[in-house]
Amino acid sequence: MITRDYKGTKLSALGMGNMRLPIKHGGSDGDIDFDRGREIIDKAMAEGVNYYDTAYVYHSGKSEGFLKEVLVKRYPRDSFYIADKFFIQANPDYKAVFEEQLERLGTDRIDFYLIHSVTDNLADKYINSGCIEYFAEQKRLGRIKNLGFSSHSSPETLKRFAEYRDWDFAQIQLNYYDWLFGSSKLEYEILREKNIPMVIMEPVRGGRLADLTPDAAKLLKAARPDSSIASWAFNWLKRLDGIKVILSGMSDNAQMADNLKTFSDSTALSDEEEKILFDACRIFSKTVKVPCTACRYCCDGCPAEINIPAVLSLYNRYKLDGPWALEDMGSVDTKGKPADCVGCKACEEHCPQGIAVSDIMSELAEKTK
């Protein structure tokens, strides 16, 4: 496992995201399969992964407790680092949330603590709430070791938030697709200019960049026949300076094994390989209609209990393959259907990608009635 130096600490370049843990068969987002999850954590620890990312809202509030049972209770506390987050939309009582998180995790400190999902709408709420100063005080007391933030905002808001204080690190969504077609390149440059170390989320965009279209995948396989499609995304990120950890939400042993292989050495893509990757990305981009990363922030509180990421995945297939794809609506793992959407738009308030979910549900309801 390759490592990156962070203020004298060796962090594994691959971090374990705990937002997409295996779920019990037929279960909801909060029904984590502890046995399968434990296997993944044990393999990660055995191979040198030492950065574990969670949040108050992940897996309907069950992710932190999972880490307590399979990681904190079973391994020496100085053998791993925990990253956790405060999300003001979930519960604005930051003092109570922080104490609850320490209890959920079964620890007296959090190594990397983040203001969670800073957006254009939430930046001022965070700044005006007093939470940043409170967490800075917790850092002074040793209960937080490093204080940072995660951003889903515009570059302008990211720059303003980055300048609010001297942050220890920042977490941004960065992958080759968003580099070409989004604002990731500018966001990366803002943080580099301010010399803020980076943790990267969504390196394969919720799995979308691990499953390219056949024409796009063909280009990559011709160049590297023995490399997985997902490995191209990680090896491209290795080209960029200032990145300390790249998160991956590994939900099965196969994903873990492939990522461990990718991070067994520091070899990055060459200039020629980057050109091939960008060509493949441009081919793939023509098929992406909805940029959902399956973060599931939209699901909690949906009155119709719609599995929104699963429905949006089918929507992308429908736009790519045609109306026949909608015949699979009955097999989508969701209690609520698009026709059950009440148009409350609560999901849209939580969507980091700004997807007009209610409009899509309305379109699908019309197409599938």
Q: Choose the weakest-confidence range: 119-128, 155-164, 255-264, 282-291.
A: 282-291
The average confidence (pLDDT) of the chain is 93
Examine residue 36 and state whether it is found in any structural domain, yes or no. Answer: yes
Same-domain status, 270 and 358 = no
Residue type at 360?
I
CATH at 213: 3.20.20.100
Q: Which residues contact 113 (CB under 8 A, 6 or more apart)?
A: 83, 84, 85, 86, 135, 138, 139, 144, 145, 146, 147, 148
Examine residue 88 and state whether it is found in any structural domain, yes or no. Answer: yes
Examine residue 136 and state whether it is found in any structural domain, yes or no. Answer: yes
- Dihedral (Cα; 23, 25, 27, 33), 10-degree rounding: -30
Q: What percent of the chain has pLDDT above 90? A: 78
Model pLDDT, residue 162 = 97
C-beta atoms surrounding 162 within 10 Å: 21
How many domains would you assign to the chain? 2
Q: What percent of the chain has pLDDT above 70? A: 99
Outline where the chain has alpha helix (H): 34-46, 63-67, 94-105, 123-129, 131-140, 155-162, 176-181, 184-193, 214-223, 229-237, 253-262, 271-285, 308-321, 346-350, 357-368
- The answer to whether the pTM exceeds 0.95 is no
Same-domain status, 61 and 196 = yes
Q: Are strands 9-12 and 3-6 parallel, antiparallel or unpaired?
A: antiparallel
d(CA 25, CA 110): 32
Q: Are 278 and 15 in contact (CB under 8 A)?
A: no
Please give the backbone phi and psi of residue 86, each rounded to the nearest 5 degrees, phi first: -110, 120
Examine residue 296 and state whether it is found in any structural domain, yes or no. Answer: no
Same-domain status, 29 and 100 = yes
| Mean pLDDT within 7-18 | 97
Residue 321 has pLDDT above 60, yes or no: no
Examine residue 300 and state whether it is found in any structural domain, yes or no. Answer: no
Q: 137 lies in which domain range?
A: 3-285
| Mean pLDDT within 100-117 | 98
Examine residue 301 and state whether it is found in any structural domain, yes or no. Answer: no
Examine residue 347 and state whether it is found in any structural domain, yes or no. Answer: yes
Same-domain status, 94 and 45 = yes
pLDDT tens-digit map of 301-315: 899 999 999 898 888
Task: Give the pair of three-digit tokens for residue 36.
Answer: 């399968």
> 4 vs 322, which has greater pLDDT?
4
Q: Considering 251, 285, 319, which residue would you say is the last residue of a domain?
A: 285
Examine residue 259 and state whether it is found in any structural domain, yes or no. Answer: yes
For residue 15, is it left (φ>0), alpha (ψ between -120 and 50) or beta? beta
In the block, tokens 């850092």 appear at 139
Please give the backbone phi and psi of residue 205, each rounded to the nearest 5 degrees, phi first: 50, 55
Short-list 83, 6, 25, CA closest to 51: 83
Same-domain status, 320 and 233 = no
Short-list 125, 186, 197, CA closest to 158: 186
Same-domain status, 336 and 260 = no
Q: Considering 233, 254, 285, which residue would you say is the last residue of a domain?
A: 285
d(CA 112, CA 139): 10
C-beta atoms surrounding 15 within 10 Å: 26
Same-domain status, 208 and 320 = no
Q: Which residues contact 106 (CB under 8 A, 6 or more apart)?
A: 68, 72, 73
DSSP-derived secondary structure for 221-248: HHH-TTS-HHHHHHHHHTTSTTEEEEEE
pLDDT band (50, 70, 90) for residue 251: confident
pLDDT band (50, 70, 90) for residue 158: very high
Is residue 265 packed enough to be buried (19+ CB in 10 Å), middle (13-18) or exposed (0-12)?
exposed
Distance set, CA 165 to CA 160, 162, 347 (Å): 10, 7, 31
Same-domain status, 19 and 141 = yes
Same-domain status, 11 and 120 = yes
Same-domain status, 194 and 72 = yes
Same-domain status, 344 and 270 = no
Same-domain status, 279 and 312 = no
Please give the backbone phi and psi of residue 323, each rounded to the nearest 5 degrees, phi first: -60, -25
Q: Report the alpha-carbon angle 253-170-163, nearest 5.
A: 170
